[in-house]
Chains A and B, each alone.
Chain A
Amino acid sequence: MSSAASPLPALLAAANGNWHMSFQSIHFLLFLPIVVGAYFVLPVRLRKGWLLVASYYFYFFAAPKYLVLLLAGTLFTYIIGRVIGSAKTARAKHGWLFLGIAGSVLVLAFFKYNGYLQGFLSNLSVRFGLVYSTSWFTTAAAMGISYYTFTAIGYLIEVAQGTAPAEKNLATYALFLGFFPSVSLGPINRANGLLPQLTQNNKKFNPQAAANALRLIAIGFFKKLAVADTLRLFVDAVYASPEALAGYTGLSLTLAAVLFALQLYFDFSGYTDIARGSAGLLGIELPENFNTPFFATNFSGFWARWHMSLSGWLQDYIFTPLVWSRWTEKLPIIGKKIKKPPVLSSIFVVFFISGIWHGDTLCFAVWGILQAVFRIGEELLHRTLGKPQKKPPLFSRIGKTTLVLVLWVESLVFFRVGMMRAGTVSDALAALARQFSEVSYSATINDVYRAIWNGFYNQRPLVLAFAAFMAVCLAAALWADWAQCFKLKGKSLANGIAALRPVPRWFVYFFITLACFAAFIAQSGGFGGASFLYGGF
């Protein structure tokens, strides 16, 4: 078929070019109101189909190459789910569950860790003189595969345990995995959370709920565009390559580590707010992912408030089954001596899996192991010194929060170096070691100036304006986080804004809108611009 006869090449070019879809693209800003408007105008029986078409349209324009993979994964786990649901014996259920999990994990592993496969095949081809082309296995991370695979595995486990029914309607199940607000970076949905909502399509448009959803979307865009993407300039400059990293002085490395921790948080929590807000416009509630984690006073608290949908998934589907299985008792030689449930070793396993889930290099494994060490160390401290007070004195609270933050920020150096091309554990260790060796304020100010100059615009007044904008937006975002934690006691920031008196409320609205607009222009409307950090995991 010629390209003139088929619209596919033109569509593919559009999806890979200026009509590429992501939350911060103009395409999405046009797409969302059309989807929401049509959803409430269409007859109830057509709404689910409409959402499915919209979700696949979103995925096609975001990652056209991998739509087939999403469809295949959906069909595979749908069939397995149905078979598990109709299996008569526990043995049969577990057999099919194993097949479903193994199949899903294998595909996930292939797309996440194909770099290792390439290396292995390349070595084989050299040793045995085989013909081998790296292009056979060259794949970019398939968009959302980590998230929808975990969603599917969770669903299969629930069906096998009998805590959720097997979904009979293929369209509903396809929407469950491919729902556009959550398909690219989660939150990781649960069968009992999202599936029942997708079958209730007779909702009426609720202006108040829609206003709240819009507030959430606006907060999300502010975190992403005005905070995370502005911090990115300096962080990306420092972590551009191992050689670049080695050229910075200690204070710049420390600043980059702190700013990366903030960038990661505001990027991912901003994404989640946009996802939850977009679903909220359709009357669908997605799980929360963050709840002011930087104010946690211990690591168990931190992980209960950071990437909550993943933490909860790991807790329910790996940690708890591991502890109940008493797997350490089955180990050869030492197994017979172990009589207690394997809590600490299971914590280690969970964090190690979390590390390698994030990336395929040793840096991510080290990062996961460090989280395990922090969490296990804390558990041992609690066992030795007793459980901490529920409401510790202020100074103790500040000290604990600071300690958690410092350890988190420093461990993220491994994480960020892992994201670098050819970044190694020794690069991360060298960066950590040099953090306090050279402290030069003027060198750091110059580094920040240069990063903005090179990454934004090479004119002094604009560089200074950008730096001021970055500082104001970061301060506002941190203050909002503080207010959410201590003033709103963890309740939604969108509700907090809605409860303000009209003048401050409209001030906040205009501030967020104009800051988002300025940041949107600063990154040229996202055309050829940045993506979300967690999109690569």
Chain B
Amino acid sequence: MKKLLRNIALLLLPILLYYGIFIMFEPNNYFGLHKAAAGTDIMAALRNYEDAPTDALILGDSRLAKFDMQLVGSIANREYANLAYGGASLNEQLDILDWAREQNPQLKQVVFMLSFYNLNQAYAHNRMVIDALNNPFVYLTNLGYNINMLTELAYTITGVPTGGDGETMNPTDYTYVDFTVPATGQTVTIRQKIASHLGDINERCQNWALNTGELQRLLQTIDDCQQQGIEFIIVMPPAHPDTFLYVVNPYGINGPMQTVLAQLKQSPALLLNYEFEPLHPLRDDQFYDCFHLDMKRGLPQWTEELFTDIQNGGQT
């Protein structure tokens, strides 16, 4: 019997070791063992919301996750819970919204990010955020969180500081590279950060197809929110013009997106479209990469613009 148990323990040793590493490097500070989360600490944000729900919410991916919440509060004159986090998919955002509505029936406003990128059929991963919040087994065994942890581990081993370079860069430090556009085969010289991000976006969008199921779910949620008296604001964040030149247009994503935009305009939601119809186009140096704004030169300006537009009900 002892021998059997010893052998089982020996076999499980690598798995236990792996989970030791997992707990050390998981970027969401799920177990509360780190001083601060390396990532966007969605678990802590959800727990905070559970304890003290606010009447306004921000949902989205990394593009909305890095707002300066003090600045947001000073412009909007209300407290938002920012439940946006890196790589959030549309179905994950909707799952969190369903949960948030259950947690707080008095919810008044939702700022909900939408983009051609998360409307892509192939970008429908599900990290079961709410289930993971309540069940550590879901968190420990979820593929997405395991990949997040391994990425964090790789950053540590290779010496890349967590959080990269803080997503800000001086134009004098820009490096330029030749980039072959996969969709057309043409070679262009563009900023290295843009080129590298375009490669990732291209990989995910080359077979772009509209996720009609999640779009229908979104439209239904908008109707439900209206009946519940919740103001629903759809924010389509700005994207670098090269994203349109080298991915969106060559792959014909623009056409189906115009149909989606027409549907959204007919819905009761307020649509703030900085992606396809930017009212105040941003400069190249205000973008850190294709989707993310420079934390010093771009994001504060857009934050101000966005929450002023929300205050004004979309009238600028």
Contact = CB atoms under 8 A, between A and B. Distances in A.
Interface of A: 17-18, 26, 205, 207, 210-211, 214, 450, 453-454, 456-460, 462, 509-510, 513-514, 517, 520-528
Nearest to B135: A18
Interface of B: 1, 3-4, 7-8, 11-12, 14-15, 18, 121-123, 125-126, 128, 131, 134-135, 137-138, 140-144, 146-147, 203-204, 207
Nearest to B146: A521
A458 B123 contact: yes
B137 A26 contact: yes
Contacts of A458: 122-123, 125, 203-204
Contacts of B12: 513
Given A450-B207, A521-B141, A207 B1 contact: yes
A214 B8 contact: yes
Chain B interface mostly helix, strand, loop or mixed?
Answer: helix
A207 B14 CA distance: 23
Interface centre among B18, B121, B137 (most CB of A within 10 A): B137
A527 B12 CA distance: 21
Instruction: List 4 A-B pairs, minimum CB-CB distance, nearest first.
Output: A525-B141, A524-B142, A524-B143, A207-B4
A510 B207 contact: no
B11 A513 contact: yes
A524 B203 contact: no
B132 to A, nearest CB: 9
Contacts of A520: 141
B258 to A, nearest CB: 25
A513 B204 CA distance: 33
B137 A523 contact: no
B122 A457 contact: no
A521 to B, nearest CB: 5
A365 B157 CA distance: 58
A17 B146 CA distance: 21
Nearest to B124: A454
Nearest to A19: B135
B14 A510 contact: yes
A456 B12 CA distance: 25
Contacts of A453: 122
B11 A527 contact: no
Given A205-B1, A457-B125, A521-B141, A18 B131 contact: yes
Contact of B126 (A454, A521, A526, A528): A528
B176 to A, nearest CB: 25
A401 B122 CA distance: 41
A450 B137 CA distance: 29
B6 to A, nearest CB: 11
Contacts of B4: 207, 210-211, 214
Nearest to B200: A459
Contacts of B207: 450
B212 to A, nearest CB: 14
Contacts of B121: 454
A18 B1 contact: no
A527 B1 contact: no
A527 B142 contact: yes
A207 B3 CA distance: 9
A18 B3 contact: no
Nearest to A522: B143
A528 B128 CA distance: 9
A525 B138 contact: yes
15 contacts: A18-B135, A18-B138, A26-B141, A207-B4, A457-B125, A457-B143, A457-B147, A458-B123, A462-B147, A520-B141, A522-B143, A524-B143, A524-B144, A527-B138, A528-B126
B131 A521 contact: no
A462 to B, nearest CB: 7
Given A458-B125, A521-B143, 18 more contacts: A17-B131, A211-B7, A214-B4, A456-B143, A458-B123, A458-B203, A458-B204, A460-B203, A462-B147, A509-B11, A510-B14, A517-B18, A521-B141, A525-B137, A525-B140, A525-B141, A525-B142, A528-B128
Nearest to B199: A460
A460 B4 CA distance: 41
Contact of A527 (B7, B18, B141, B147): B141
Nearest to A525: B141
A454 to B, nearest CB: 6
Nearest to B5: A207
Nearest to B126: A528
Contacts of A524: 128, 138, 141-144
B169 to A, nearest CB: 25
A244 to B, nearest CB: 13
A462 B154 CA distance: 14
A271 B138 CA distance: 23
Given A207-B4, A214-B8, A517 B142 contact: no
A215 B14 CA distance: 18
A524 B3 CA distance: 32
Nearest to A521: B146
Contacts of B126: 528
A115 B40 CA distance: 48
A351 to B, nearest CB: 40
Contacts of A514: 14
Contacts of A460: 203
Contacts of A456: 143
Nearest to B1: A207
Nearest to B138: A527
Contacts of B11: 509-510, 513
A460 B142 CA distance: 19
Given A18-B135, A207-B3, A527 B143 contact: no
A408 B135 CA distance: 43
B128 A527 contact: yes
Contacts of A450: 207
